[in-house]
Amino acid sequence: MALVEGCKHALEISVPLAEVDKETERVVAEIQKKVKLPGFRPGHAPVSLVRTRFAGDIRQDVLEKLVPRFFRAAVDKDHLQVVGPPNVSDVHFHAGEPLKFKAEFEVAPEFELGEYRGIVVQYTEPEVSDEDIAKRLDEIREQKAEYVNEEPRPLVDGDYALVSLESISGLAEKISQDEIMLKIGDESTLPAFTENLRGASPEESREFDVTYPEDYERKNLAGKTVRFRATLKAVRRKELPELNDEFAKDLGDYQTLEELKNAVRTALQRDRESKAQEEAKHQLLDKLVAAHDFPVPSVYVDRQIEINLENQLRALAAQGIDPKSIKLDWNKVRESQKDKAARDVRASLLLDKIADREAMLATQEEVDREVQRVARQQREAVAVTRAKLQKDGAISRIAAHIRTEKTLNFLFEQARKEAGSEPKESA
């Protein structure tokens, strides 16, 4: 056996002539039973004729039987944990001689687990201020705002305009919206709409051009100049609900405004703790990987690259972007992902080893709880969801994910936490 590079190994394997002859005879006998040759009854064709007529098939069958068997025996003898299929080359297969071949393959990495308890991470227990609660309540009030029609009058900045909108030119597919609301003069409203609708009165129609930015979020409009006909249907004002006990009751199972504030405080605290801990766990993994330098099989890295790319493509699709419309050199993209994929693989292998050492397991109750969550999300019976997940092999993946999360939580609990900046509030 010769070590080629990192996790790559090579074996030169020899199959004894007696084994080759035995397997060849078995294959010839099988073919003789099935073959139909002119002038001979099925199963009675001469062996010599079968060997001559089906020499290629015999050779292929013998190789397909002997190569995997003797490769597996060789790696088992050396206690090698092979990952991925071997690359077989230099096949020497001639009559009256032993079969010889070379097999190059990768093995799972072996590494010593260093210290993983007490890793130093930047972490500050998040706090929620009264100002944070007031801001969140204002956001909820905005969501519950009502828009009331004003007496007919010309539009001014700050008004909410209810308009019907249709495109006249500039687009292959016509836009037609019966009701759309725009805030005149607001930064979220394209200036062309504000400038051309300002001063309009209800039932008045206006035609004007709108040039969209090149980076506009709707790709079918980005960079285009579109002529619109807009008809003002109503001028509206926004009315926010009063912040009182009635407002709290309308939102759900709250009797007073104070109860609502406490619920908001708890939700904000939980969300910020989750974000802060997630950031700390990323730090943990980075430090864990940096402290353990070992080679990883390319088959693992390639698989991780595919997983990462699939996740990125799903994220694009969720944003309404067709991945096929993006012109990329996917070979270059894959190449650029190698370092990150190798890091992800090392992190996964380290977490697995720590989980083994700490006897981390996903309980049946934990798996059942996750299956129930998925069933609620899919709005179907738990038994139906479980059957689907079992068929797809997803139950084992759920258990593995739970095990990984428990291991990360353990590492976070064992970490030495030093004061650091709080994670930024997400939009």
| 348, containing H or E segment | helix 338-357
Q: In this structure, which amino acid lies at residue 233?
A: K
**Closest by Cα among 61, 71, 60, 52 to 14:** 71
Does 202 reside within a domain?
yes
pLDDT number for residue 3? 58
Does 123 reside within a domain?
no
pLDDT number for residue 258? 95
Q: Quote the domain boundaries for residue 167.
A: 146-239
* DSSP secondary structure code for residue 392 in this structure: T
Instruction: Quote the CA–CA distance of 130 and 374 in Å, as a whole number.
Output: 36
Instruction: Quote the CA–CA distance of 347 and 301 in Å, as a whole number.
Output: 12
pLDDT number for residue 218? 87
Does 133 reside within a domain?
no
Residues 6+ apart with CB under 8 A from 360: 354, 403, 406, 407, 410
Burial class (CB in 10 A: 0-12, 13-18, 19+), 358: middle
pLDDT, average across residues 59-74:
93
pLDDT number for residue 266? 95
Q: How confident is the model at residue 427 (pLDDT cuts 50, 70, 90)?
A: very low
Instruction: Quote the CA–CA distance of 340 and 282 in Å, as a whole number.
Output: 13
Distance, CA of 405 to chain centre? 16
Instruction: Quote the CA–CA distance of 264 and 245 in Å, as a whole number.
Output: 14
Among 120-124, 131-135, 321-325, the minimum mean pLDDT is found in 321-325
For residue range 362-378, list pLDDT tens digits in order. Answer: 999 999 999 999 999 99
Transcribe 314-341 into DSSP letters. HHHHHTT--GGGS---HHHHHHHTHHHH
Report which of residues 134 and 32 the model is more confident about: 134
Average pLDDT, whole number, for the chain?
A: 90
Instruction: Quote the CA–CA distance of 2 and 9 in Å, as a whole number.
Output: 6
Does 314 reside within a domain?
yes
Does 323 reside within a domain?
yes
Q: How confident is the model at residue 184 (pLDDT cuts 50, 70, 90)?
A: very high
What's the CATH number where 289 sits? 1.10.3120.10
Among 90-104, 109-123, 326-340, 342-356, the minimum mean pLDDT is found in 326-340
What's the CATH number where 202 sits? 3.10.50.40
Task: Look up the pTM and report it.
Answer: 0.71
For residue range 271-308, list pLDDT tens digits in order. Answer: 999 999 999 999 999 999 999 999 999 999 999 998 88
Q: Contact 97/24 with Cβ under 8 angstroms?
A: no
Q: How confident is the model at residue 421 (pLDDT cuts 50, 70, 90)?
A: low
Burial class (CB in 10 A: 0-12, 13-18, 19+), 155: buried
Count of domains for the chain: 3
Does 408 reside within a domain?
yes
Angle, alpha carbons 372-378-380 (nearest 5°): 70
For residue range 302-338, list pLDDT tens digits in order. Answer: 999 988 888 888 888 777 777 777 777 778 888 888 8
Q: Contact 235/199 with Cβ under 8 angstroms?
A: no
Does position 424 have pLDDT exceeding 60, yes or no? no
Are residues 232 and 283 located together in one domain of the fold? no
Last residue of a domain, one of 56, 79, 107: 107
For residue range 242-257, list pLDDT tens digits in order. Answer: 999 999 999 888 999 9
Are residues 222 and 331 located together in one domain of the fold? no
pLDDT number for residue 423? 47
Does 113 reside within a domain?
no
Distance, CA of 427 to chain centre? 21
Q: How confident is the model at residue 52 (pLDDT cuts 50, 70, 90)?
A: confident
Does 83 reside within a domain?
yes
Q: Calculate what percentage of the chain has a pLDDT beyond 70.
A: 96
For residue range 384-418, list pLDDT tens digits in order. Answer: 999 999 998 899 999 999 999 999 999 999 999 99
